[in-house]
A = this chain, B = another copy of it.
């Protein structure tokens, strides 16, 4: 199932995205979910053609955990070897935006980079999850862009400021509950030019290992998001450009870049 959050003429709803029986294979309907999408969702009966809704960030997390240097080639391009344990950091939930929302580049930074990543969404409250059950606690998978003010990342040492600006965590376009995360192709394009290309099979710590590791530190709550790390090829974006992160089976997350006033 594909789960999304949409703005429609009467408000905002979680929806399942389903083929339109009138034109299956061509058109998609947004089918409203009652309240929230966790567990076995129930449906209200309301539905809208996709043309009549706007996709929002598919979830509003209580926390966003991220992992640094989780692809060996990226660790090397950052000037080091990958650490033995997953290297955790956080982005504030206020950084989350949906597809097509502008990434706002702050005047305080001279270099704002894209980092395309596979993201997982937690489906139930959990802690101390055994690695063998790491994917069982998930609602599903989506795409993230771990936008980073690279100059401030190096200047501060701690990465919270560099990665915490409003709009610096695009998520979407939806959550897929069924994809196998083991070996998905990931591509990042800037104005149509290929910048990052890798596969999730190259993750040093895979999804199950990451979920288990983080859950041994902190309780994870439904809707919490874990970004699994970016492959090599990161680079700067300029206002006026458009960045797209695509993952096999998960679609494409596209955001324009603007200068923040």
Contact = CB atoms under 8 A, between A and B. Distances in A.
B63 A156 contact: no
Interface stretch (A15-23, A129-137, A159-167): A159-167
Contacts of A62: 62, 93-94
A165 B215 CA distance: 9
A156 B218 contact: no
Given A156-B83, A156-B85, A217-B165, A92 B90 contact: yes
Contact of A93 (B63, B108, B216): B63
Contacts of A68: 158
Contacts of A88: 156, 158, 160-161, 164
A240 interface: no
A50 interface: no
A66 B169 CA distance: 20
A218 B83 contact: no
Contacts of A166: 127, 217-219
Nearest to A158: B89
A87 interface: yes
Interface in A92-139: 92-95, 106, 108, 127
A221 interface: yes
